[in-house]
Amino acid sequence: MTLSHALSRVVDAIDIETFLLCGSAEEARKIALSMLLGLGFSDADVVSVEMNGPGARVRARTYVHRPGARYGWLGGADGGDVA
């Protein structure tokens, strides 16, 4: 399965959740965003970040299909095929 095929099945967004060792919530936000950008997702945002002690619990998000777009999972559209 190719990446684009796999992505076509995502209903709307992909969240990446992790715990980052860092010094501040702002740093965690930057790291999380750069992680998504590095993975090739430009539509990136940080949904939640909580900094305590050694690091931050962070959830970053990228929308694969925003409402109103043409969805891969609808079939026929972007090569996605829902059997």
Q: In the complex, which residues of this chain contact other proteins (CB under 8 A)?
A: 1, 11-13, 15, 45-48, 50, 57, 59, 61, 63, 65-68, 70-71, 73-76, 81-83
Residue 30 or 59: which CB sits closer to other proteins? Answer: 59
Which DSSP symbol is given to 13? Answer: E
Q: How far is the CB of 29 from other proteins (least distance, A)?
A: 12
- Contact indicator for 1, 72 with CB cutoff of 8 Å: no
Could you give the CA distance from residue 15 to residue 61 in angstroms, rounded to a whole number? 4
Whole-number minimum distance, CB 21 to other proteins, in Å? 19
10: helix, coil or strand? coil
